[in-house]
Amino acid sequence: MKVGFVSLGCPKNLVDSEVMIGLSQQAGYEVTADPAEAEVLIVNTCAFIDSARRESVDAILEMAEFKKTGACRRLVVTGCLGERYRAELSAEIPEVDAVLGTDDVPGIVRAIDGIAPAEATAPPGGLLPAGRGLPTYLYDAETPRTLSTPRHYAYLKVAEGCNHRCTFCIIPRVRGAYRSRPAGSILVEARRLAERGVREIILVSQDTAAYGRDRGERGALAQLLRDLNRVDGLGWIRLMYLHPTTVTDDLLAAIAESEKVCKYVDLPLQHAAGTVLRRMGRPGTRRTYSRLLARIRARVPGVAVRTTVIVGFPGETGAEFDELVSFVREQAFEHLGAFPYSHEEGTRAWARADDVPARVKRARRHRLLAVQQRLVARAQRALVGRQVRVLVDGPVPEHELVLGGRLEGQAPDIDSRVYLTDADPGCHRAGTFVDAAVVGARGYDLLARPLLPATRCDKILDSE
């Protein structure tokens, strides 16, 4: 039987999809990338914000059409949308045959077989199935997993769930309490990934810096980084999703001292005005965040800092937004994502009026990103002429003779990238590290040329 998967949402959700693919293949099913030939289609959904829910519903409806036009006989919905709206999905989209939540990853084979019940077990509007507690599932190194990322990098989930109580976020209710994987399991998985040719592992969770705290292990992430740094075959180890309250000096020391750990800190701050942060249920103020950022930059020289912010949170005034803009100008983040507030049922912020008009949210986001673009352009001009180390991701869709790659301070998919010109794709293959000179910029991206002539690429290949 052929099975097809559609994975939506964040890298953490992608890991769940890869586990479900691995479990399906272990059970003897053939996984196909063509939904028209799949007899069972699985849509792993996201439900973090309204736009993600709409994308998930659209994907479900699109896959449902293959029951009419393709080989599909069974449609399964999994993930956060399934955890949050089990009853509604089954009632409103009759083509859906089974709905699995975030705790039901191991049940994917039963769902494919038609053993899992198709009927919903949650009351309409309920966030969790009746009689069920919060999710507790956590995969380990022995769980089958098939990578869907390019061969040279992979996401590695170190923990699941979240203990923070941000008023705008539904994640703790659909993912459960924070729970860390044992370090030994993570190290085993990292070694196996390296043996398969993975050069970069990206550690993810809802709050990666909190790793081990639920197990009473102080300094667990710093020790894990030092252990991962000794794994043969890995070139880069990247950290994503660090909560500002869990970034310690020991962690920063491990980042600074470990050769393979990227000098890269992903620190979602969400806002800078203290009044907005309090309404968000977030700790800190502009002053404490500025001190934290100064400490990070002092202890990790050359670090690239990424943050995300929300504009248009209930009650956000023009003055509060101006403070956020001023903070972004002051900090000159290497990477910044800005998102309009999404009013989510089931969050504590739901009780507040969503009183910032959508057009104002869009205008504020546009203004903030314009500021960020000018800051990035200034930083890029300073890089022209410098020598950099680039991890090649492979030919870009726009031109097969131009290679895409990334600096140590650039994560895949979400950050800017490097375009390598005058580079031989047969020489500089995906997963190869290349020394290059920055020769210019294009928008948020950099242009660079390899320093090693293509006639000497045999040395690169021989060294792999």
Tens-place pLDDT, residues 311-353: 999 999 999 999 999 999 999 999 999 999 999 998 999 999 9
**Looking at the structure, do residues 410 and 346 belong to the same domain, yes or no?**
no
Identify the band that residue 125 occupies on the pLDDT scale cut at 50, 70 and 90: very low
Other C-beta atoms closer than 10 Å to the C-beta of 294 total 11
Cβ atoms of 42 and 113 within 8 Å: the answer is no
**Looking at the structure, do residues 408 and 374 belong to the same domain, yes or no?**
no
Q: Residue 129 pairs with which residues in a beta bridge? A: none
Whether 187 maps to a domain, the answer reads yes
Q: One-letter amino acid identity for 421?
A: T
The domain that holds 209 is classified in CATH as: 3.80.30.20
**Looking at the structure, do residues 292 and 426 belong to the same domain, yes or no?**
no
- Expressed as residue numbers, the domain containing 100 is 2-113
**Which of the listed residues 366, 383, 400 is the one where a domain comes to its end?**
383
Q: How much is the pLDDT for 423?
A: 82
**Looking at the structure, do residues 425 and 457 belong to the same domain, yes or no?**
yes
**Which of the listed residues 359, 383, 407 is the one where a domain comes to its end?**
383
Q: How much is the pLDDT for 201?
A: 98
Does 117 score more than 90 pLDDT?
Answer: no
Cβ atoms of 144 and 23 within 8 Å: the answer is yes
Does 132 score more than 80 pLDDT?
Answer: no
Q: Domains in the chain: how many in total?
A: 3
Per-residue tokens: 60: 């479900």
DSSP annotation of 433 reads E
Secondary structure of residue 52 in the 3-state scheme:
helix
Identify the band that residue 143 occupies on the pLDDT scale cut at 50, 70 and 90: very high
**Which of the listed residues 368, 383, 398 is the one where a domain comes to its end?**
383
Q: How far apart are CA 171 and CA 430, in angstroms?
A: 34
Does 302 score more than 50 pLDDT?
Answer: yes
**Looking at the structure, do residues 41 and 62 belong to the same domain, yes or no?**
yes
Does 123 score more than 50 pLDDT?
Answer: no
CA angle, 462 as apex, 459 and 464 as ends, to 5°?
A: 115
The domain that holds 455 is classified in CATH as: 2.40.50.140
Average pLDDT over residues 272-298: 97
